[in-house]
């Protein structure tokens, strides 16, 4: 039997014979070990002359569920195939098959109906209607959890089905697990397996064989011990354990290794989950998971009534589960290519084949509850069932499953592909990793913060204050905070790229700088420029390599390999460094080359392939029309016709027509930052937009969506061609025209047409060059040079950890790129070296991505966890940051830009290495033990609310701090403090036991301190006051001389009042110049103020 084995890591497919099956098989592409269960079914197998398994969606340990295609019916089905060993494990295989089929409709619509079933080579398969299903196991594997009430709603639906089925058959399910309970795309609960366990429990052959369907972690104790035949309370026990799994993400009693351990343990919830549970909910769970079945509810109806009573007491109304796709299951390339095109076809009406010999009474006789178990069953369940994994620790970044509150009104969701597919081009990587956005959001006002009342200066002083602050911000005085970000000089790129020999190093350096300061519109222009630069670089490299090959070819033919290799290796002209790896490959090829080699015929197609890769369709049409290859006339004629069809406008019309003519003309669009399904009405090529209708927030909206805003990875699936090579070619060209190189290459990989040998090396070269540029930009962000040794001097551990994560993300995204072995070794070396320098990941650590991406965990969700270290990767963070959980450590790195307030409402938290381009840091009232290190508030200030205590601010730059008088134990050191316009001072308030150590206060026409008491519990040590104005000015004091501060502060030691001089404040270098007062005169002989390294990163 032939079948297809798909690698889950790289999606590479291998065709094998069943005789070759081992428990694991190495992927021929990525070398990962693919686990195989002997006797289990696989993809790509013809179960009969019409039905083929296409895509696996579930594996419960003894059977697999596939999306299958029936050629005769012309549509998709779900097909469940049991392991081959099931056939010999039962006494009467045909009876089991027929009873399962006949009883599949007894449990109402929640149970998957079996349309028909049969055996193929002793494999039992059951055919069911096609729908998108995701099991509880799959959903939890994708980092979702259920809220307590949502999990109870799910079980309520199953209970009603089982109660209905019991009234007909007199039997329960007796094998409910997270592997056979599903949610469909409409948010409806589905399950299967009804009548299977009751039949097997009465089968002595099953009881004595090694085949098992029961999962010890969900099976009731009476069944595990083989003491009693299960009853309705046994299903309640299983459902209770499923609820536990859904709300905690932990395998119930998971640490236990065998049934004796399980029978001794009690089910306990972790503290993080207990906080979400009320007493009544806990009582229900404790009842149904009790070890003794006599202590549980005795029927489905009893539990339904108890849940109804609980819901009435809290005013809860049952809702559907989450609609749409919740996992990545249906977003793999394999599904998109082989399954999604068939989904568009209108399904035919389906009927269930009646089993005339099995009416309800016959079924009741076969499976109704028995009085005893076969004696052999007492030793049946000894060890845990072969589940895929046990979850013994909670995942810190799990998120709650959402669901519709307008149950029954929402349309079925189509796949939201753009949420999870990482953009292909290197510039898109930069967009979600490094690119700076400047679009502002409304200021965030914390609910619990209180306005700070400050004394008003005279109008004259206020005018002076505002003017001086503007001067500082714009860099017109020596007291500037930050220079105003300059606009991008686009003329530089135009001039450089128009040169015959552009300086690509210079372009990359300028691009890296401009991406950090560009507005959103300018960033998009830069992305287009960088694509042009990328294409020009490839053209220039190709030109250099072609010249070298033309010089070496005659020498190779004369068998003068050494001379040819010398020419290649000694090349030192233009782009010598950027072509080093390609030249090394040429040298290796020369070494292996045979003399007198003829130029292969495929070389005649090189120009055509190059034109296609460069999106020159018009040129490619002309070239293909002129091509003359003897014996290939018909092939070239067909190729020319195909290229004419590959014009982007032609393909778009073809796609739009196909969608509009389908039975369900729905298209996913990005609306207000989220993906929604829209009804596709029309398209307009003059305006380059489509017209759609959406139902959003109870309103019908008519929208025009530009072509460029549509997701090409979704659109491409509508390009269909009878010839598979022609279809792959057109899809490849369409994605290439949309600059999605990595996805284009996925479609090119199976292509075997006339251009295969010419296109594939070109696209691989493009991907390799693109990936190399991505690495160069990435390393520059961390002040490193790709290709050189990592400079660990001043390279912080936090930046190293971020670089490790980003390298691994690039490896995932470009897994199909045929990166040269030398560079693969270089990346492996970098990772090994970095990982050896950093500490191993701590148990509760989450690495999050910026707000503009969906691949990595989001910050807002990560902040729901207690006792967690959260690391921010480079990018823009605009969503308000509210820390409500205790013991949170928020750590940034190079390229992190925060454009919102940070509100701290929990104790024992730490902020580190953060850049706030806008926004303040607010510590809520009654909060204790907060550390803020190496943080730059470019336009923001600190606000410490009443009764805050033990606050440490170290090595920070900020624009003023307001502190409630009731706050105490405030320690601020090694910091640079500018005045705040709203506060009209640098420090406002008179907290207790406050110390400023090694700080620089800068002010011009504003006082340093305001809102003081007559006497203040302040210690000022080793501080530099850079001001010619009042040091204190409020209702109690007007002090301009340093010595006059001593009577109003508890301690003033080693302080100076003089003008500070920085190394280069216009470049953001706020280290004191050797000529400045306070240089090396601070605490412990350090310079007063912030500590920075040579790359202008705040250090501590």
Query: What pLDDT, in 10s, does the model give residues 619-661?
Result: 889 988 988 888 888 999 999 999 999 999 999 999 999 999 8
CB 1089 within 8 Å of CB 976: yes
Q: How far, CA to CA in Å, does 789 sit from each of 12, 776, 778, 797, 827?
A: 34, 13, 15, 17, 11
DSSP characters over 728-774 = HHHHHHHHHHTT-HHHHHHHHTT--STTHHHHHHHHHHHHHHHHHHH
User: Average pLDDT, stretch 77-87?
Assistant: 94
Residues in the chain: 1100
On the question of pLDDT at 971 being above 80, the answer is yes
Report the largest interatomic distance among the alpha carbons of the chain, rounded to a whole angstrom: 105
pLDDT for res 394:
67
Whether the model pTM is above 0.75: no
Tokens of 558: 């004369």
Domain-wise residue ranges, the chain: 37-400, 646-716, 842-957, 960-1100
Number of H helices, E strands in the chain: 34, 48
Q: How far apart are the first and last CA of the chain?
A: 65
CB 850 within 8 Å of CB 893: no
pLDDT for res 455:
27
Output the CA angle 1022-1025-1028, nearest 5 degrees. 160
Output the CA angle 107-112-113, nearest 5 degrees. 85
On the question of pLDDT at 404 being above 50, the answer is no
On the question of pLDDT at 970 being above 60, the answer is yes
pLDDT digits (tens, 9 = 90+) for 248-277: 999 898 776 666 666 667 788 888 888 788
Tokens of 50: 């019409």
Q: 185-189, 335-339, 370-374, 768-772 — which is least confidently predicted? A: 370-374
Separation CA 74–CA 130 (nearest Å) = 12
Over pLDDT 90: what percentage of the chain? 40
User: Average pLDDT, stretch 961-988?
Assistant: 94
User: Which stretches of 475-503 are DSSP H helices?
Assistant: 490-497
pLDDT for res 597:
43
- Write the DSSP symbol of residue 409: T
CB 93 within 8 Å of CB 104: no
pLDDT digits (tens, 9 = 90+) for 781-792: 898 988 889 999
Rounded to the nearest integer, the mean pLDDT of the chain is 81
pLDDT band at residue 839, thresholds of 50, 70 and 90?
confident
Q: 11-15, 197-201, 516-520, 706-710 — which is least confidently predicted? A: 11-15
pLDDT digits (tens, 9 = 90+) for 157-173: 999 999 999 988 889 99
Selected residue with higher pLDDT from 27 and 431 = 27
On the question of pLDDT at 374 being above 70, the answer is no
Q: How far, CA to CA in Å, does 816 sit from each of 591, 746, 755?
A: 27, 8, 19
Query: Was domain 646-716 assigned CATH 3.40.50.150?
Result: no
Residue with tokens 């999990």: 151
Query: Was domain 37-400 assigned CATH 3.20.20.10?
Result: no
844 CB neighbour count, 10 Å cutoff: 18
pLDDT band at residue 437, thresholds of 50, 70 and 90?
very low
pLDDT for res 365:
75
On the question of pLDDT at 425 being above 90, the answer is no
CB 895 within 8 Å of CB 872: no
Q: 469-473, 820-824, 972-976 — which is least confidently predicted? A: 469-473
Selected residue with higher pLDDT from 389 and 221 = 221
pLDDT for res 919:
92
pLDDT digits (tens, 9 = 90+) for 876-920: 898 889 999 999 999 999 989 999 999 999 999 999 999 999 899
Selected residue with higher pLDDT from 996 and 263 = 996
On the question of pLDDT at 465 being above 60, the answer is no
Any residues with CB less than 8 A from the CB of 1079 and at least 6 apart, and which? 1072, 1073, 1087, 1088
User: Which stretches of 249-369 are DSSP H helices?
Assistant: 259-264, 271-274, 279-288, 300-314, 333-338, 340-343, 360-367
On the question of pLDDT at 837 being above 80, the answer is yes
On the question of pLDDT at 1054 being above 90, the answer is yes
On the question of pLDDT at 965 being above 90, the answer is yes
- CA-nearest of 962, 940, 92 to 482 is 940
């Amino acid at each position: 039997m032939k079948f297809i084995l798909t690698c889950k890591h790289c999606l590479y497919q291998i065709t094998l014979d069943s005789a070759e099956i081992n428990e694991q098989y190495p992927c021929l592409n990525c070398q990962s070990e693919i686990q195989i269960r002997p006797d289990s079914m696989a993809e790509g197998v013809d179960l009969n002359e019409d039905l083929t398994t296409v895509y696996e969606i579930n594996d419960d340990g003894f059977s697999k569920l596939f999306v299958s295609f029936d050629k005769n019916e012309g549509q998709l089905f779900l097909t469940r195939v049991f392991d081959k060993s099931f056939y010999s494990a039962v006494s009467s295989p045909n009876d089991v098959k027929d009873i399962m089929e006949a009883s599949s409709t007894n449990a109402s619509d929640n149970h998957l109906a079996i349309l028909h079933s049969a055996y193929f080579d002793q494999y039992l398969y059951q055919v069911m209607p096609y729908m998108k299903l995701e099991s509880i196991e799959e959903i939890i594997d994708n980092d979702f959890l259920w809220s307590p009430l949502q999990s109870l709603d799910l079980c309520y639906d199953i209970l009603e089905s089982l109660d209905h089925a019991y009234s007909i058959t007199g039997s329960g399910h007796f094998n409910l697990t997270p592997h056979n309970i599903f949610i469909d795309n409409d948010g409806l609960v589905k399950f299967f397996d009804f009548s299977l366990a009751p039949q097997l429990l009465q089968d002595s052959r099953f009881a004595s064989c090694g085949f098992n369907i029961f999962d010890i972690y969900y099976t009731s104790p009476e069944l595990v011990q083989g003491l009693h035949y299960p009853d309705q309370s046994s299903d309640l026990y299983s459902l209770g354990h499923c609820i536990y799994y859904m709300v905690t993400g932990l395998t119930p009693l998971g640490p236990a290794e065998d049934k004796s351990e399980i029978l001794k343990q009690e089910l306990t919830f972790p503290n993080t989950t207990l906080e979400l549970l009320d007493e009544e909910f806990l009582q229900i769970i404790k009842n149904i998971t009790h070890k003794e079945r006599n202590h549980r509810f005795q029927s489905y109806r009893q539990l339904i009534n108890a849940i109804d009573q609980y819901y009435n007491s809290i005013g809860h109304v049952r809702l559907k589960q989450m609609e749409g796709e919740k996992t990545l299951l249906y977003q793999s390339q394999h599904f998109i290519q082989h399954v999604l095109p068939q989904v568009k076809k209108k399904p035919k009406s389906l009927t269930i084949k009646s089993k005339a010999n099995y009416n309800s009474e016959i079924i009741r006789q076969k499976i109704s509850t028995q009085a005893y178990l076969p004696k052999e069953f007492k030793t049946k369940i000894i060890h845990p069932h072969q589940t895929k994994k046990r979850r013994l620790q909670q995942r810190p970044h799990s998120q709650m499953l959402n669901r519709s509150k307008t149950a029954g009104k929402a349309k079925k969701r189509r796949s939201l592909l753009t949420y999870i597919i990482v953009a292909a081009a290197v510039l898109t990587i930069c967009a979600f990793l490094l690119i700076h956005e400047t679009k502002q959001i409304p200021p965030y006002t914390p609910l619990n913060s209180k306005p700070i009342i400050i004394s008003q200066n005279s109008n004259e002083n206020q005018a002076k204050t505002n003017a001086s602050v503007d001067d500082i911000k714009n860099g017109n005085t020596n007291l500037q905070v930050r220079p105003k970000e300059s606009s991008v000089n686009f003329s530089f790129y135009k001039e450089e790229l128009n040169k015959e020999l552009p300086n690509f190093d210079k372009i990359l350096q300028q691009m890296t700088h401009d991406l950090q300061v560009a507005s959103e519109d300018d960033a998009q222009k830069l992305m287009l420029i960088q694509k042009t630069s990328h294409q020009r670089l490839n053209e220039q490299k190709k030109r250099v390599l072609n010249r070298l090959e033309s010089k070496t070819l005659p020498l190779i033919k004369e068998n003068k390999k050494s001379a040819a290799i010398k020419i290649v290796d000694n090349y030192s002209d233009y782009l010598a460094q950027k072509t080093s790896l390609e030249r090394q490959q040429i040298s290796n090829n020369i070494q292996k080359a045979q003399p007198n080699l003829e130029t292969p015929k495929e070389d005649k197609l090189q120009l055509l392939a190059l034109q296609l890769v460069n999106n020159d369709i018009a040129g490619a049409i002309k070239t293909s029309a002129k091509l003359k290859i003897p014996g290939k006339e018909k092939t070239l004629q067909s190729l020319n016709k195909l290229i004419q069809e590959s014009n982007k406008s032609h393909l778009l019309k073809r796609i739009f027509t196909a969608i509009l003519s389908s039975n369900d003309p729905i298209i996913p669009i990005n609306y207000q930052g989220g993906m929604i399904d829209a009804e596709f009405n029309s398209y307009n090529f003059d305006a380059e937009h489509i017209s759609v209708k959406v139902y959003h927030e109870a309103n019908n909206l008519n929208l025009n969506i530009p072509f460029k805003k549509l997701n090409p990875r979704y659109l491409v699936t509508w390009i269909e061609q009878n010839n598979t090579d022609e279809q792959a070619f057109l899809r490849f060209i369409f994605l290439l025209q949309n600059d999605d190189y990595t996805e284009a290459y996925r479609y090119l990989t199976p292509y075997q047409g006339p251009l295969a040998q010419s296109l594939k090396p070109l696209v691989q070269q493009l991907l390799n060059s693109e990936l190399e540029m991505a690495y160069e930009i990435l390393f520059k962000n961390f002040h490193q040079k790709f290709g050189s040794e990592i400079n660990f001097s001043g390279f912080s551990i936090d930046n190293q950890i971020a670089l490790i994560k980003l390298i691994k993300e690039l490896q995932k995204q470009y897994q199909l790129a045929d990166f040269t072995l030398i560079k693969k070794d270089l990346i492996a070396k970098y990772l090994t070296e970095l990982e050896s320098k950093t500490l191993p990941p701590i148990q509760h650590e989450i690495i999050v991505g910026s707000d503009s991406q969906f691949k990595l965990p989001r910050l807002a969700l990560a902040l729901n966890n207690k006792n967690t270290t959260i690391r921010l990767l480079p990018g823009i963070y605009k969503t308000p940051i509210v820390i409500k959980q205790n013991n949170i450590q928020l750590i940034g790195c190079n390229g992190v830009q925060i454009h919102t307030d940070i509100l701290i409402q929990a104790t024992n938290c730490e902020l580190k290495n953060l850049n706030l381009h806008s926004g303040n840091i607010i510590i809520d009232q009654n909060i204790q033990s907060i550390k803020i290190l190496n943080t730059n508030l470019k336009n923001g200030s600190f606000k410490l609310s009443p009764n805050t205590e033990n606050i440490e601010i170290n090595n920070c730059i900020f624009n003023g701090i307001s502190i409630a008088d009731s706050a105490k134990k405030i320690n601020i050191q090694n910091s640079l403090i500018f005045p705040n316009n709203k506060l009209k001072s640098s420090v406002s308030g008179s907290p207790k036991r406050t110390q400023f150590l090694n700080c620089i206060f800068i002010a011009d026409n504003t006082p340093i301190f305001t809102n003081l008491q007559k006497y203040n519990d302040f210690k000022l040590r080793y501080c530099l006051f850079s001001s010619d104005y009042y040091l204190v000015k409020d209702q109690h004091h007007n002090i301009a001389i340093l010595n006059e501060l001593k009577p109003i502060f508890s301690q003033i030691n080693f302080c100076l009042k003089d003008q500070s001089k920085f190394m280069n404040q216009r470049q953001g270098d706020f280290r004191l110049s050797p000529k400045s007062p306070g240089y090396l005169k601070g605490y412990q002989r350090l310079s007063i103020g912030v500590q920075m390294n040579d790359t202008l990163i705040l250090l501590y």
